[in-house]
Amino acid sequence: MGAGKRVLLAAPRGYCAGVDRAVVAVEKALERFGAPVYVRKQIVHNVHVVRELEARGAVFVDEVDAVPAGAHVVFSAHGVSPAVVSAAADRGLQAIDATCPLVTKVHREAVRFARDEREILLIGHEDHEEVEGTAGEAPDHITVVTSPEHADVVEVRDPSRVVWLSQTTLSVDETMETVRRLRVRFPELQDPPSDDICYATQNRQVAIKKIAADSDLVIVVGSANSSNSVRLVEVALEYGARAAYRVDYAHEIEQHWLEGVRTVGVTSGASVPEVLVSEVLAALADAGYGDVAEVRTAEEDLMFSLPKELRGDAAGLDARGRGGRTRA
Ligand code: SF4
């Protein structure tokens, strides 16, 4: 073991309740209906998870028009707009909605505010599937605000009827800065009824903040299109990590990252199975960083029931309709 070399392992990290539910939904759909089961978009934003499910018979498509009429299709954890639901129905598809309930909550808020003739400023990344889905609930009432700088210039029709909502996987600090700047311009801006940035995103950011300043290097396990994983790299750097990188797999760790490094912080995004973190820890141990201390800032025990189409004994579920997976 390298003298003085250590790993600080953030907790909570990895799978959240919404990702767990979505992955189990595809597994159960394969068990119940047999392969192939079609999935619109990546079920969760993780390369490894998608490859594993593909190997078991899941077929990932970009849009429902690529699914044969009458087949089963799973909607991903990021949610879909009503237009996608209609398109699936028009093709006679058997839809299984694995949208995370915390994303559905934001959809409902959007529908309610639109019905109330509010103008909704949706803070998020315009090209992200979740934002496309939420914005599709009320396209005439929603304007996407992509950054604090965008808040300085975005135009609204009636500043007295403006409310903000957000994507679930943003940086908490940056979102609050966007809201602050929106409020400077629109003092009557209304807040959402509860946090839109989900518990898992917030908890993983709090945990990495705790270890960032003590870390010469932070490694975030997660995929490039995983919003919450990319945010963890940014938050680590903002809170004092000397360097921070994202990797999908342990073999992507570059030797020169470790030069002069005593403490490596490790965490993972909400769509990352723990096996990938274990492989990173094994690679670090091989490089002399075998001393691992977990730093926990919150406990998580939330679980969501499976989509209603998959509940019941026939799917091999427990009495609560849960998949029975144990999360790290
Ligand atoms: S990151 Fe949050 S919103 Fe997204 S699936 Fe997980 S719990 Fe749901």
- Per-residue pLDDT at 215 exceeds 80: yes
Please, which pLDDT band fits residue 51 given cuts at 50, 70 and 90? Answer: very high
Determine the distance separating the centroid of ligand 1 and the alpha carbon of 14, expressed in angstroms: 11
Question: In this predicted structure, what is the pLDDT of residue 312?
Answer: 72
130 is catalytic: yes
> Of all atoms in ligand 1, which is nearest to the CA of residue 302?
7
| The predicted structure's pLDDT at residue 315 | 43
- The arithmetic mean of pLDDT across residues 250-273, rounded, is 98
Mutate to test the pocket of ligand 1, among 24, 44, 103, 268 (most ligand atoms within 8 A of CB): 103
| Cα 228–chain centre separation | 5
Give the mean model confidence (pLDDT) for residues 87-110.
Answer: 98
Asked whether the predicted pLDDT for residue 3 surpasses 80, the reply is: no
DSSP 190: B
pLDDT value at position 233? 98
Is the pLDDT reported for residue 325 higher than 50? Answer: no
CA of 6 to the centre of ligand 1 (A): 30
Domains of the chain: 6-15+199-296 (3.40.1010.20), 17-100+304-315 (3.40.50.11270), 102-185 (3.40.1010.20)
| pLDDT above 90: residue 130 | yes
222 Cα to the center of ligand 1, angstroms: 14
Query: Are 229 and 246 in contact, with CB atoms under 8 Å apart?
Result: yes
- Going by the annotation, the residues of the binding site for isopentenyl diphosphate are 45, 78, 128, 226-228, 271
Question: In this predicted structure, what is the pLDDT of residue 323?
Answer: 40
Place of tokens 């797999």: 249
Give the residue-averaged pLDDT of 295-299: 98
pLDDT at 15 over 70: yes
The mean pLDDT value for 257-265 works out to 98
Check: CB of residue 43 under 8 Å from CB of residue 77. yes
Spatial CB neighbours of 95, under 8 Å, sequence gap ≥ 6: 72, 73, 74, 75, 85, 88, 89, 309
Q: Is the pLDDT of residue 55 over 80?
A: yes
Which of 13, 15, 16, 105 has most ligand 1 atoms within 8 Å of CB, for mutation?
Answer: 16
Residue ranges around ligand 1 (CB below 6 Å): 16-19, 77, 100, 102-103, 168-169, 198, 200-201, 228, 270
Say how far apart CA 9 and CA 290 lie, in whole Å.
12
Q: Is pLDDT of 145 > 90? A: yes
pLDDT value for 313:
52
Q: Which atom of ligand 1 is nearest to the CA of 103?
A: 3
Catalytic-labelled residue, pool 27, 130, 132, 137: 130
* Average pLDDT of the segment spanning 303-317: 77
Q: Render pLDDT for 227-250 as a digit per residue (tens, 0 to 9).
A: 999 999 999 999 999 999 999 999
Is the pLDDT score of 147 beyond 90?
yes
Query: Percent of the chain beyond pLDDT 90?
Result: 94
Q: Kindly report the backbone phi and psi dihedral angles of residue 6, in degrees, each rounded to the nearest multiple of 5, phi listed first.
A: -150, 165
Round to whole Å and give the CA distance between 266 and 268: 7
pLDDT for 1 equals 57
How far is ligand 1, taken at its centre, from the CA of residue 102, in Å? 6
- 292: CA distance to ligand 1 center in Å? 27
| Contacts of residue 252, Cβ cutoff 8 Å, sequence gap at least 6 | none
**Span 177-205, mean pLDDT?**
97
Question: What pLDDT is attached to residue 248?
Answer: 98
Q: CB–CB of 217/243 below 8 Å?
A: yes
Best residue among 165, 169, 170 to mutate for probing ligand 1's pocket (most ligand atoms within 8 Å of CB) is 169
Residue 327's pLDDT is 36
pLDDT of residue 322: 43
Instruction: Report whether 284 contacts 309 (CB < 8 A).
Output: no
Binding residues, by number, are 16, 45, 78, 100, 128, 168, 198, 226-228, 271
> Which is the closest atom of ligand 1 to the Cα of 270?
1
